[in-house]
Chain A
Amino acid sequence: MIRALTMVFALLLAGGATAHKASDAYLTIERNGPSLQGQWDIALRDLDNAIGLDVNGDGEITWGELKARRVEIDAYAFGRLRIASAGETCPLTVSDRLADSHTDGAYAVLKFAGSCPQSGPTLTIDYRLFRGVDPQHRGLLNFVESGASRSVVFSEETPVWVVGGDSAGPLSQFATYVHEGIWHIWLGFDHVLFLLSLLLPAVLVRRDRHWQPGGSFRSAFIEVAKVVTAFTLAHSITLSLAALGVVSLPSRWVESAIALSVVLAALNNLFPVVANGRWIAAFAFGLLHGFGFAGALKDLGLPTGSLALSLAGFNVGVEIGQLAIVALFLPLAYALRATWGYRRLLLGGGSAAIAAVAAVWFAERAFDFPLFIAWASGP
């Protein structure tokens, strides 16, 4: 009993004299367009602790011992650091190996370079050095871009940080995300086709189980405005909720459901179930599409320092892209609404084609089975 208690006294005094520094590593990453330059200082004591450097067991680590373990050190360190841009990993290679000393001893210095296959406003950095070996370890990142730098700390609780995209000032950052939002809706064919499926009948009215040309431009405009507003409102809600981490859905589920929503919207033109309440369908399915936009935004990454600004910019971009489509579509559709070509070819044939393409997407996404190399990709 006394022995055991004594042990505890020893432990108790530990709090009184905190000293030294716990384990840190210093990471610098400089981005210049697609290319990355970096330096990673890792304490020799920590490396010895994780993979063993003191080969001869004399309690000293020499430069020779460090060099002898360079392959293992590279593999260990870079197996625990992942840098990604727009969802794609940026491969890194070690360019130089040096030594340095910090306040708590000697460090191995790894210089590295990399290049990102996909450009994006931000970098997502996933850092798990010494995971499982020392839960108190911290990775101190200094990210440098366009002459500005910022620092974040990786820990077991926060192993992932998104950096960049905010170094050029708020206005240009906002503009970057507006741009990304516009391109996302233009290149995300599933959103465009969904919207078109809902808009094609807007210049028509359903009478006696047949599509008839609508009356005034005004009524067509109001119909389009209702659909677009409902769709916008709905996807803005879910985009924000998902981007802010309030709601999270599995992306395969979301993508499959989006494809299905396109199928249903197109089929509704051929076999109308919902004729004059399309704005309700636009709202309901718009909720789904918002999750899809959020998935795309996740790949781009949101700068942690100014998340609301980037989110708003992306949303504005999506709306601009969408309004551009509407601005092109509405006058054309209105002008052609009374033609046989519009009702048969565009509404009928177009909707059938959209339904068929979307059905293929659905099969691919839901069953993870590539039917053909998709010329159109989802978000």
Chain B
Amino acid sequence: MGIVGTGLRALGVASILFTAFAPGAGAAPYVPTDDAVVLERLPERGDPKLRELKRMRVALAASPRNLDVAASVARRAITASRETGDPRFLGQAQAALSPWWTLSDAPPVVVLLRATIRQSQHDFDGALADLDKLLMANPRAAQARLTRATVLTVVGRFAEAQSDCRQLVSAAPPLVVAGCLAPPTSLSGGAEGAYAGLVQALETPGTDTGTIEWALTLAAEIAQRRGDPVAAERHFVAALALDPSDPYLKGAYADFLLDSSRPHDVLPLLAADTKNDALLLRLVLAEQQLPDQREAFVAHRSEMAARFDAARRRGDSLHRREEARFRLAVEADSRGALTLARDNWKVQREPADLRVLIDAARAANNAPTLRLASDWIAQTHLEDKALLAALAGL
């Protein structure tokens, strides 16, 4: 019965695809001519932190129920996924926590890491449920509060996010509080104050580089939305000086450059990041505008399409925002882009999500979606010059 039951439950899952597909995007399988041929370079090559993670995973395999080692492996793996943009590390993080993953009374350290992994997989409801539980048990858990504020911002629940940030005042340094408040405040009608608070907190010395880089990125994004490209550029450059390899920062800066009609400047920024899907997308968008990059554009475009295809086949919906942008700008498929952008908007409510929704709706001439977008802007008092211009069809 078990087997039939499993198959039946799975019927509801949208993972049954009736279309035929070729066995992967690879060329024909081959037998390498020489034993010395290098087939794969592992990510830990030349990265001591990833080698250390691998060693720790070996240690964890020997005692998988050691909570300290497991939490440490999970934390390092999550950090690795952020630094490399590689979701395989999220799988490793989840595997490290597997003895506690499904427990309703998992230890707090596991619940916090689980919430972070869930958030990275866009399971925002699951992440919020974990964080609610942590904060119910311990209202002073600063990390949980900060994480929840971020998740609430991503799903567009700005007032609740701000309330979480305010409760951090006595528990965290001023720059952390300002950085927590800046996104939800700036996205709900308080951009000027949020920006000023951030700039002021940045002038106070004594915070570590990681936090400063993060705050500078936030300041750059707010300045960009407020239509102050000079300040945005200054903050982006300062942030990149602190961490030239942060993929999130590079993506945000590339978007700024694309919006500022500076596609040439995107090339050196992202030349070495083609393994990262989100960054490859920006590179493709830049190359598309540059006649002398024709060859690179053609190659990167088909690579990008193959990756979206691979993600779709495994049932991933993590790339909808990026894929909508790709379909719209590169493939000129406004209807496909609109479907993706609308599905994405049901889950994520960041300005980038709204931007692709508006662009796709305008291209597809879809009035109801444009109305939905303008209602959202009116309701949240979102300040974003580029968005308003897109909505007005400029």
Contacts and interface: CB of A to CB of B under 8 A. Distances in A.
Interface of A: 1-24, 26, 28, 39, 41, 44-46, 48-49, 54, 58-64, 66-67, 98-107, 109, 111, 124, 126, 132-138, 140, 142, 148-153, 155, 157-162, 242-245, 248-249, 251, 294-295, 297-298, 301-302, 304-305, 307
Nearest to A18: B318
A45 B40 contact: yes
Contacts of B5: 245, 248
A152 B11 CA distance: 11
Nearest to B352: A16
B214 to A, nearest CB: 5
Contact of B120 (A9, A15, A28, A59): A15
Interchain residue pairs A-B with the least CB separation, the first 9: A59-B45, A64-B35, A19-B85, A245-B5, A136-B91, A134-B91, A98-B29, A63-B32, A248-B1
Interface in B64-105: 75, 78-79, 81-82, 84-88, 90-92, 94-95, 98, 101
Given A9-B210, A132-B95, A14 B3 contact: no
A90 B176 CA distance: 59
B116 A41 contact: no
A20 B4 contact: no
Contact of A11 (B32, B78, B94, B318): B78
Contacts of A158: 6, 9-10, 13, 15
A17 B34 contact: no
Nearest to B34: A63
B16 interface: yes
Nearest to B251: A17
B26 A22 contact: no
Which of B11, B88, B116 has most chain A Cβ within 10 Å?
A: B88
Interface stretch (B290-298, B307-315, B331-339, B378-386): B307-315
Q: Contact size class for B?
A: 35 or more
A180 to B, nearest CB: 15
Contacts of B179: 9
A61 B40 contact: yes
Nearest to B43: A45
A157 B6 CA distance: 9
B346 interface: no
A244 B1 CA distance: 9
Contacts of B17: 150-153
Interface string B12-56: 010111111101111111111011111111111110000100000
Contacts of B24: 26, 41, 100, 102, 107
B136 to A, nearest CB: 19
A5 B146 contact: yes
Nearest to A16: B248
A309 B392 CA distance: 53
21 contacts: A1-B142, A3-B208, A5-B143, A5-B146, A15-B120, A20-B85, A44-B40, A46-B88, A59-B46, A102-B24, A102-B25, A138-B314, A155-B315, A158-B13, A158-B15, A160-B3, A245-B4, A294-B4, A298-B3, A302-B4, A307-B11
